[in-house]
Chains A and B, each alone.
Chain A
Amino acid sequence: MTQITHKQAIKWINRRLDGMLTEGQLFLLDEHLHSCDTCRAYAVEMDSVPARLQHEFRARWDPKPGPSPRVMQHVTTKARNIPMTNRISSGLKLLAGAAALLLLGFAINFVVSQLPGTSPTAAGTEMANISPRPEDRLLAFTSNQNGNSDIYTMLPDGSRLTNLTNNRANDEYPFWSPDGKHIAFMSDRDGSVQIYLMDADGSNLIQLTEGDGNYLLDVNGFGPWSPDGRQLIVSHKPSEEQSWKLYVMDVKDKTIIELIQEPGEYILPSWAPDGEHIAFTSAPSARTVREIYVVDKNGKNLTHLTGNLPRGDAFLFGSYSWSPDGKSIFFTADVIGTQRGTYQSTRYQASLDGTLSVVTRTAQSMLDWWDGTALVRDLEGTPSFTWLRSDGSQSTVELCASSDQVSGIAYEQSYAGDSVLGLNCSTGGWVLYWANSDGTITNRLLSSRIPAEYDSIFNMSWSPDDNFIAFIAINTGAPDVTEALYIVNVAEARNDPDVEPLKMEESYGPSWQPLPRPFP
């Protein structure tokens, strides 16, 4: 048994107070303290300091009331002039920068981005044995519990947990193929991040991309697979570049088609249901106002769908959805810059040639719209949500406590149309609610809460049988980002809110194995 010195013990006693010891170090320190009276006495003394401080701080500051109303009054009055001041300041900066840019523009003729070639190393992919029963659908996800990321599958109750990659490299973000037989994922086993493909049981591994730079699959929403399971949307950044390009890759012969020539920040790419077009969002800089584009799957006919929005309307980085026939895209734009009481959200339908038509308008922030029903949120800060129906009826519910502020929202509709809504209420963390499709019934789904330490809920997705919902709770405030995968048995929780969700620490990137379905 390794022993530690007194000096080491003193150092570790201090480090332990800041949570900086490993399990092994804690064990060795514990051993030492059992046999050393001096160090034990020191540990007791040091342990008493945090407790005393917490007590003193709380006794001194907790009883003080919050800030007076003058703070709100002062800030809101002063803040009114900020946009104008910023515009003037930006204008001056622009003028100064314009001359420099002009000179630079002459110097730069063109930028050629050469995509590295991919050598075909085709391998056979034996089909895994797939159960046709919806309740046997596996959940694939990434877990970092063993110190490096690996891809696992399991049934939604946590059984049949299998490590598919079991590799010392980082293997992340599995995406099931539409037939539920293969999994695409990212790995840095080759040094840089590349895309790989394997069967549902982890066999028949194929490296799809190779060469300079890194290749990524978009992890923000729609998944990379074409509806026929033959192609993947991938993004690539050569090692010496700062920006990304979007490509479509054929998984069989590994050929690649460039979707957009201009490098940039492209996220949320998605396939049209008919597999003929691809939509994606882009922003010229790291701003929340984004643009939606659509392009043919062969990279031709790039169209700027949000280019014809009326002045003042902006697509504020929300999501978008395809019409079932793949001929148009729905999205919500908000009028920005309006004064209190004149808020306006508009649901647009954009044809693939960029023609816009208004589906509906609301005076509150629209979270979602489907089949004539809009879910809107009160922007005044109260936790109030309203379902507005096409027949003119509506139902408003106040979720959380009425005095709560909502600092985060997660929302996902099931295949049948009902939905789960997660709200980060200011008193005590995230509360999950279930609502039927038109909002006439809204109930709290779980008695327990998702802890407040997680500031976001992300990647919310329903199981193919609509019985389970999986999501990631993530603490983006921590520099090293902590996250956990939650799986809620919605069918069970609706009868008994006291059921506990399944929680997998240090896990993320859930992907449900789809039910095999015919390609239209």
Chain B
Amino acid sequence: MWEYSDKLKNHFLNPRNAGEIEDANAVGEVGSMACGDALKLMMKVDENGKIQDAKFQTFGCASAIASASALTEMLKGKTIEEAEKITNQDIADFLGGLPKEKMHCSVLGQQVLEQAISRYKGEAPKEQEGKIVCECFGVTDLEIEKAIKENKLTTIEEVTNYTKAGGGCESCHEVISKIIASVWAEVFPVIKPRLSNIQKIRMIEETIDREIRPSLQHDGGDIELIDVIGNRVLVAKRGTCAVCKASQQTLKNFVELKLRELVSPDLVVEEVPE
């Protein structure tokens, strides 16, 4: 049994604005029978862009019916510009909250509103944007990204609650977790832990041994780590490097780049004279 708020129960038991508007001029329709919920929104918008009337038809559970009822109540009297700002969280808030597993009902409300407004404005029907991630419920990567960003989702379960993606055969779970990771990586770029001096020196040594020296030795050259002072990496050229004219370039374009990439982005490589 779901814990529904009194307001939600009220909107479910006495849905406002259920029905059809014959001369609606802003209509949206989302969901399908296979998905388990579907919603049709009809609005009558006057010449000033004000929503005179809004009605819905829905196939869905109690919270889907209540979300649709809430949405139409919120829309009546608003201008299209105001209506555009309604988010799925606003719908949930209007109802005194939704159980987390039912958040997708409010997302459905937001989607149908978006579609109705864009059709009203005469915008070309959007092609299916993005690529389908969840085959079971036909959810695209862009929809998933949007839900993650707008609702700060961090787990697959949350993504399922909001978008239904991943709620069927679960074979897309790996892709969903990659999307979650990449969205969050945009917001919070990964930072490497601050290194102690000793750790830094050790990593520089290891990187030189593993990533740099083999390449140099391939051409008969070599470098020796002399010291690390702050961000300055002091090296001495050995072998053919010591006599090679291009070796200064190698230090900057290869050694320094590698060390910056693998150890710390602020390192500067300097050559110490013999």
A binds B: no
Could you list which residues of chain B lie within 8 angstroms of chain A, going by C-beta atoms? Answer: none
